[in-house]
Amino acid sequence: METIDLRSDTVTLPTAAMRQAMAAAEVGDDVYGEDPSVLRLEAIAADLLGKPAALFVPSGTMGNLAAVLAHCQRGDEVILGDQAHTYLYEAGGIAALGGVHPRTVRTNPDGTLDPAEIEVVIRGDDAHFPITRLISLENTHNRTGGSVLSVAYTWQVAEIARQHSLALHIDGARIFNAAAALGVAVRELAEPADSITFCLSKALAAPVGSVLVGDAAFIRRAHRARKQLGGGMRQAGVLAAAGIVALETMVDRLGEDHRRARLLAAGLAGIAGVVPDKNPPPSNMVYIQLDPQLPLDAAGLAEQLEGRGIKVLPVAARRMRLVPHCWTTDAQIEQVISSFGALLG
Ligand SMILES: *Cc1c(COP(=O)(O)O)cnc(C)c1O
């Protein structure tokens, strides 16, 4: 039986072109700065995002952590959303390893933080307080269903950061999805920020890796942080080669994932007891709520679907996530919709 895995876009396997590029990659010792494939990936990424420098890191989590360590000292504070990936899903690394204090503000259902609320929590100069140093946004915003932050909103927050001499970081794990959804160049979304992390291994299908971009002095500090964190890799060009293919071949097709997410949400919305959080979904993620009257909860339904070769991600008792990606076909979307209908009808 064919498996349709919609738990996440991270399940995407490397493409044939990536495997070939990995096998043929020119490599060297990247800790000595001598891996030509890593250097090439970093140059391509910096250029695409419109920043002077870039750093290849093993994961998005390390990219965000290295960024926070490069922006902040111990005891400094970062303002971020209470639904931010960095706050919820990165093992508390900024506090545990960086001594950086997270100050949360409410995340709106559209993934934004209220600019007025950000201003309220910026600390004054008082020895009682940590020093506010950084604001961190997330685009697309995962927990709010792949919400897309606009260029104008990002500038609005950047302006607040500038007025208070703070830095602005974007957890742009899926920034290319945001750019595709908005129909803008990714560098327009990156321009207001001092630093951005993006993932190569989600919808872009590379096997491993993320990239952090920013100015040269910032990237020098992040490079040291990466070494401290154990993220200095040697012949990492084998991985970077796949990342280059990801940027060259997988970015322009992201609209396909978004179209299939819309198809899926529209189909599921037609099934009694199933309510998509957002219809149409803003990017590649479909989150659905299951009516409490339904006999199956999210875990029960996921198990039944798995029996039909369909994997989904339960995220709460009555909530689940489905993420179409580059291996998903229109026929599979139809099959998923009809399986929901059969199990819940
Ligand atoms: C996936 C993700 C990350 C990084 O995750 P890793 O698994 O460490 O690569 C960071 N932020 C967001 C919003 C994500 O979805």
- Ligand 1: distance of its center to the CA of 89 in Å? 8
The closest of 174, 110, 118 to 144, measured between CA atoms, is 110
Q: pLDDT at position 121, please?
A: 98
Nearest ligand 1 atom to alpha carbon 171 = 11
Nearest ligand 1 atom to alpha carbon 62 = 8
Angle between helices 330-344 and 298-307 (to 10 degrees): 120
User: Which residue has its alpha carbon closest to ligand 1 atom 14?
Assistant: 173
Angle at 263 between CA 260 and CA 266, to 5 degrees: 150
Q: Verify whether ligand 1 is closer than 6 Å to residue 80 (CB atom).
A: no
Q: State the average pLDDT over residues 124-136.
A: 97
Give the tens place of pLDDT for each residue, 97-117.
Answer: 999 999 999 999 999 999 999
Give the tens place of pLDDT for each residue, 208-235.
Answer: 999 999 999 999 999 999 999 999 999 9
- 10, 64, 85, best to mutate for ligand 1 pocket (most atoms within 8 Å of CB): 85
Q: Verify whether ligand 1 is closer than 6 Å to residue 60 (CB atom).
A: yes
Give the tens place of pLDDT for each residue, 295-336.
Answer: 999 999 999 999 999 999 999 999 999 999 999 999 999 999
Q: State the average pLDDT over residues 143-159.
A: 98
Give the tens place of pLDDT for each residue, 258-291.
Answer: 999 999 999 999 999 999 999 999 999 999 999 9
- Beta carbons within 8 Å of 76's beta carbon, 6+ residues apart: 100, 101, 130, 131, 132, 133, 134
